[in-house]
Structure 1
Amino acid sequence: MISLPLFSLLTDVNVLAQHGPTDVPITALTLDSREAGPGVAFCALRGTATDGHKFIAGAVAQGLAAVVCEELPTELNPATAYVLVENSGAALAHMAAAFYGHPSRQLKLIGVTGTNGKTSCATLLHKLLRELGYHAGLLSTVQNQIDEEVIPSTHTTPDAIRLNALLARMVAAGCTHACMEVSSHAVAQHRVTGLRFVGGVFTNLTHDHLDYHGTFDNYLKAKKGFFDALPKTAFALTNADDKRGPVMLQNTAARRETYSLRGAATFRAKLIANEVHGLHLEIDDREILFRLIGVFNAYNLLAVYGAAVLLGEDPTEVLTILSGLTTAPGRFEPVVSPTQRVTGIVDYAHTPDALENVLQTLHEIRQPTQQIITVVGCGGNRDAAKRPIMANLAARLSNKVILTADNPRFEDPNDILAQMQAGVTAPDAAKVRTVVDRREAIRAAVELAGPNDIVLVAGKGHETYQEIRGVKAPFDDKLILTEVFAALNK
């Protein structure tokens, strides 16, 4: 069991004032007052739903060792240490890093941020490093991994305590590298504060998470904050073809590098062919066939290639391994019905840009006679502004569309679908129908498909649940699509 004096955890914390004993032994950190008890340090965070400062008195009553807060309570318990800080989230992150022995300093930690492509890039880089012979960890939306050990993932980027605990487990398991997605929420909430990265990768920036950040500018600043914090010993690799790519490098102390399919960059690729069996690219004067499909995957591959080369790996060996890799589950994942010869595609596309990329890719690889039937919804209690945009894109770029529930959470799915439907223009209205039940929507799409047609089920990808009124019920788009194919083929 870890036991460290409180003062040893505060070395990197901006402490404004201290009350009580600072040599008290700390055996656990928590941001949940219900976990308070002897030896525990509770960090009171100001969250979007509630303020942890409201629970300080209750936590102290449970025999808490220390409280870290931005506002001291009016009554102080003489047996408890109180640490007043400027930002509780940043303090927690620094304390968690110290508590677990600064594990990020013992790893080559690479962070990937952006709206789309984070999971694919982090997963591809993790697979590549392991194929190169390294022990490596992964922190992603789909799952966390320590070499082959799979650990369920609940957030794109875990809270600072769990994050450092996972990195410490990687170090203990002999990992030398770690790849992680860095979400905008994680930057804004200081979850990655105190970590030492050897490199950062930017994919792209499009409309998402405005329900949390409020404005697109705040969203951009959160992403940029990750690069602003990189040390000069790290590399910052950005997509030069995204108009926000150069913005990410403006204030970074890290080595500035770029990748591009269109113009001058540190790492360049030329698209030779994008076909149903894969991509044919020219990268650094080498022609390579890849198993992945779509221009968006050309960018993902190029980003991973650039990151690996910047880590000091041999370019030829990197390309050879990348040519045989597949991406993360639920990312343009095919499901084929052998009897009807209908192709199903399950994809996590839950933003306008991601949906457009997937549909454009299907247009690029499909035969002229193949129809595209799209099943799509939008999550509840999230960015509502993208709902009509998503429906408009689906209607314009598909032959037929079925709007359905995604994860409605605490919203009425009918209200969400009405907002989506509002984005469908008159010329496309005949293509679109609404089926609230997602299972029935998938079934209806398959029934509409003829031989060789393509059914795209978008929005949930790797998720194995559907969240309705606070309850997560089992639901897997890939499994449902497979079952529907089997039932209709009998």
Structure 2
Amino acid sequence: MLQLKDILYRVSLDSIVGSTTIVINNICFDSRKVSLNDAFVAIRGTQVDGHDYIEKAVAQGALAVICEKLPDNLVNGVTYVKVNDCNQALALMASNYYEVPSENLKLVGVTGTNGKTTIASLLYQLFKDAGFKVGLLSTVHVLVNDKVHQATHTTPDSLTINRYLKEMSEEGVEFCFMEVSSHGIHQKRTAGLTFAGGIFTNLSHDHLDYHNSFAEYRDVKKVFFDELPKSAFALSNIDDKNGLYMLQNTGAKKYTYALKTYADYKGQVLENQFSGLLLKLNDQELWSTLIGSFNAYNLVAIYATAELLGLESIEILQIISGLESVSGRFQYFVNHDKITTIVDYSHTPDALKNVLETINDIRTKNEELITVVGCGGDRDKTKRPKMAHIASALSTKAIFTSDNPRSEDPDTIIAEMEAGVEPQNYKKTLSITDRRQAIKTAIQLAQANDIILIAGKGHETYQEIKGERTDFDDFKIAQELMEKLKK
């Protein structure tokens, strides 16, 4: 049990009403979870304002309230702490409450539009294979050594992050690799964490439903590097036009990686085929079962990070050559007719373009490339026509379907996608709202040696329609249908 004053260490305070020597049981930002002697932090969310629930939290036993605006009615015996930013306060309080666990291990954050999950997950695997105790905080799941926890957000809330880091610390974890989203940075979920390093992958069109502009999205990402300590490293992809911009104001040690530009860590693709990549990396050759130039960037970043964290070059190369693709990232199978089915999480225009260009670079052009793609509901609408334009331009046939329509009408989403198709590509497109039926149609259309890409959901094992989640795994469904239809 900690006193409130200890939990508030490093939090910028405007005013205090009451005592800070009270003992706090737990910290909550959801009033429904408040119990006796808890501290309630009133977070202003996109849908709900925690300030509206202060009275409820106090009625349920909250002993302290942290808020940006003091309520009109102050209850005797309750301590009210006014702060400028409750998100920042929550993150620092969470770190203090769990005894600053990020200082007990080497925490590396990965940010950018594409590649975060692959880089973080493969770094986890690499260091595990090198004999270390390792942690992972990713979109797919949270790993504490081999113990698996389900992930709910790309970057969890700050209490959850610090709780997992505390568990990792107690389990003797030495390295933790963490995806850092723009939402997480903007909502200060990573404030108070001590990072040993940060990686920038790339920046393209995404999350403009949340951020007002691309410039704002870019600048939020940059904040992560601006706040890295001097003891940390900042590793950036300088083939991306925003790569050097990310490093401008960081106090961390700066390192660069690239395929096209001179950099500290330079990669060159020598061979690219469905069996894997042959890569030249700082004058050393590396074979990997991962595919495509986008994975070449990921591999260079992984190699650089491992070396910056102290591993020997030869050991890194040996381990990387045995690493396998992450679930839902260019995951594929080939049936007896040599039809290749690829499932990929590419849910942004840039990611979809990268995957389709990779496939087109490898294929002989004597076979069909059939793409099944949709766009999520309640998300950035401006990318819908772009996704359809890319799919129809770079495939021999494109089937537009549902992704996770959420509260939106799936047919409306598909209509907004269709608006991006150029006249010369109209005949190449089909629209099938039911995703299972769309995958089935792609398989029925495919002949020997053809390639099917099922894009957008990747590792997700559900589909969300009108607020209801049902089981839906692209990879499993494609395997089942392929077996049934292509006997």
Which runs of structure 2 are paired with 1:155-174 in the superposition (5 Å)?
155-174=153-172
Shift of 1:341: 2.1
Structure 2 counterpart of 1:195 = 193
Tell me the residue number matched to 1:8.
Answer: 6
- 1:336 offset after TM fit, Å? 2.2
Query: Which residue in 1 is equivalent to 2:432?
Result: 435
The equivalent residue for 1:449 is 446
> 1:391, 1:424 within 8 Å by CA — same for their partners in 2?
yes
Q: CA RMSD in A?
A: 0.7
Provide the C-alpha distance between the structure 2 equivalents of 1:275 and 1:19, rounded to a whole number of angstroms: 66
Alignment counterpart, residue 105 of structure 1, candidates 103, 106, 116: 103
Is 2:407 the counterpart of 1:405? Answer: no
Q: Deviations over 1:36-57 (max 9, x none)?
A: 1212111101111111100001
Greater shift, 160-169 or 21-30, is seen at 21-30
Paired residues for 1:261-280 under 5 Å: 261-280=259-278
TM-score normalised per structure 2 = 0.99
Q: Does 1:479 align with 2:471?
A: no
User: Does the CA contact (< 8 Å) of 1:335 and 1:481 recur in 2?
Assistant: no
Structure 1 stretch 383-392 or stretch 141-150: which is displaced more?
141-150
| Contact 2:197/2:234, CA 8 A, preserved across alignment | yes
Match of 2:69 among 71, 86, 100: 71
Secondary structure of 2:65's aligned partner: strand
> Structure 1 residue 365: deviation in Å?
1.2
CA distance in structure 2 between the partners assigned to 1:131 and 1:341 by the alignment: 33
Per-residue CA deviation, residues 24-78 of structure 1 (Å, 9 max, x unaligned), is: 1111111101111212111101111111100001111112111110000011111
For residues 218 and 68 of structure 1, the distance between their equivalents in structure 2, rounded to whole angstroms, comes to: 28
Residue in 2 aligned with 1:253? 251
Aligned residue in 1 for 2:26: 28
How far 1:209 moved relative to its partner? Answer: 0.2
Partner Cα distance (1:12, 1:34) in 2: 27
Give the Cα separation in 1 of the matches to 2:122 and 2:45: 33
**2:346 paired with 1:349:** yes
Does residue 362 of structure 2 align to residue 365 of structure 1? yes
**3-state DSSP of counterpart to 1:211:** coil
Cα separation, 1, equivalents of 2:334 and 2:73? 65
Structure 2 counterpart of 1:77, one-letter code: V
Superposed displacement of residue 259, structure 1: 0.3
Paired residue for 2:335, among 334, 337, 340?
Answer: 337
SS in 1 for 2:89: helix
Q: 1:368: how far off? A: 2.5
1:103-142 equivalences in 2 (<5 Å): 103-142=101-140
Distance across 2 between alignment mates of 1:275 and 1:368: 14
Q: Is the 8 A contact 2:289 2:325 kept in 1?
A: no
Aligned partner letter, 2:48:
T
Question: Aligned partner of 2:191: which letter?
Answer: T
Residue deviations 1:193-242 (CA, integer Å, cap 9, x gap): 00000000000000000000111111001110100110000000000100
The amino acid of 1:330's aligned partner reads G
Amino acid at match of 1:445: A
SS of residue in 1 equivalent to 2:210? helix
Q: Is 1:459 aligned to residue 464 of structure 2? A: no
Query: Residue 212 of structure 1 aligns to a residue in which SS?
Result: coil
Letter in 2 for 1:329: S
Residue from 39, 54, 57 that aligns with 1:56: 54
2: CA distance between counterparts of 1:482 and 1:294?
Answer: 23
Are 1:30 and 1:40, in contact at CA under 8 Å, matched by a contact in 2? yes
Q: Percent identity?
A: 50
For 1:288, the equivalent position in structure 2 comes to 286
The one-letter amino acid paired with 1:427 is Q
Gapped regions of structure 2 (runs ≥ 5): none
Residue of 317, 320, 343 corresponding to 1:319: 317
Provide Cα deviations, 1:153-204, integer angstroms capped at 9, x if missing partner.
1100110001100010111111011000000000000000000000000000
Distance 2:264 2:310 in 1: 15
Q: Equivalent residue of 1:17, what SS?
A: strand
Question: Counterpart of 1:457 in 2: which secondary structure?
Answer: strand
Residues 379-394 of structure 1 correspond to what in structure 2 (within 5 A)? 379-394=376-391
* C-alpha distance in 2 between matches for 1:87 and 1:342: 54
Distance in 1 (CA, whole Å) between partners of 2:274 and 2:71 is 63
Measure how far apart 1:489 and its partner are. Answer: 2.7
Pairwise CA distance, 1:469: 0.8
In structure 1, distance between residues paired with 2:76 and 2:37: 15
Aligned residue pair count: 487
Helix, strand or coil: the match of 1:280?
Answer: strand
* Partner secondary structure for residue 277 of structure 2: strand
User: Residues of 1 paired with 2:365 and 2:416: CA distance?
Assistant: 32
| CA apart distance, 1:327 | 2.6
For residues 216-255 of structure 1, the aligned pairs below 5 Å read: 216-255=214-253
Runs of 4+ in 1 over 3 A off after TM superposition: none
Would you say 1:309 and 2:299 are equivalent positions?
Answer: no
User: Aligned equivalents of 1:327 and 1:42: distance in 2?
Assistant: 42
Counterpart-to-counterpart distance in 1, 2:365 and 2:210: 42
Cα distance between partner residues in 2 of 1:387 and 1:178: 35
Deviation, structure 1 residue 367: 2.2
Task: Encode CA deviations 1:330-381: one digit per residue, 9 max, x unaligned.
Answer: 000002222x321100000000000000000101111231210000000000
Q: What residue identity is the alignment partner of 1:244?
A: N
Q: Distance in 2 between matches of 1:312 and 1:264?
A: 23
